[in-house]
Structure 1
Amino acid sequence: MYPENWDAFRVFETMRTQWRTGMCGATGLDYTAIPAVIDLLNIPADRRQLFGDLRVMEFEALDVMAEQRIQESS
């Protein structure tokens, strides 16, 4: 992992129980929890950049979860 991604990974990993879900599974992270997680982890990062990095991880995770649902249903 690149050092510049470490803070975003720490927040993403800590947010693992903060997924919003609907009838078809996860729909995205609960963004209201992100500032508290950043503060609790004492991350001094640029929050705008960190949020963008988290969204990239979120979209990738959603793609993986969607693929898993498709494989499980076939």
Structure 2
Amino acid sequence: MKACAACRRKFTERRQAAPCAECSHRPPRLFLQSLPAWRLWMAVCTQWRTGFGGLVGLDYSAMYRVAETLNVQITPQVLEKIQLLELDTLTDRKKAGDDD
């Protein structure tokens, strides 16, 4: 994250430890049951379908192929988590104006 890199740099320059444990930008804790979805997301987060307006959504054909290669079973729960990550990414990009 850009915020984390800037913060670490600032505290490194001051020769102090960054207060990462209390930071609101700290990523959430990954639960064991979410690990298959996270592994799959990390492997397919570059597999986007694009249009004239920018990102449209994940390439699900590629996602299923990668899941097969990684031996990750796409259960309804895994699919729902991937779709939430996809929606979050698309929403963040819209807010940032990256697909204008």
Check whether TM > 0.5: yes
Aligned CA RMSD, in angstroms, stands at 1.7
2-side partners of 1:59 and 1:31: how far apart?
14
- Residue 8 in 1 paired to residue 9 in 2? no
| Alignment correspondent of 1:30 | 59
Higher relative contact order (CA 8 A, sep 6+): 1
* Structure 1 residue ranges (4+ consecutive) displaced by more than 6 angstroms after TM superposition: none
Larger helix percent: 1
Runs of at least 5 residues in structure 2 that lack an aligned partner in the other structure: 1-29
Aligned mates of 2:51, 2:70 — CA distance in 1: 28
Q: How high is the TM-score relative to the length of structure 2?
A: 0.62
The structure with the largest alpha-carbon Rg is 2
Identity of aligned residues (%): 29
Name stretches of at least 5 consecutive residues in structure 1 with no aligned partner. Answer: none
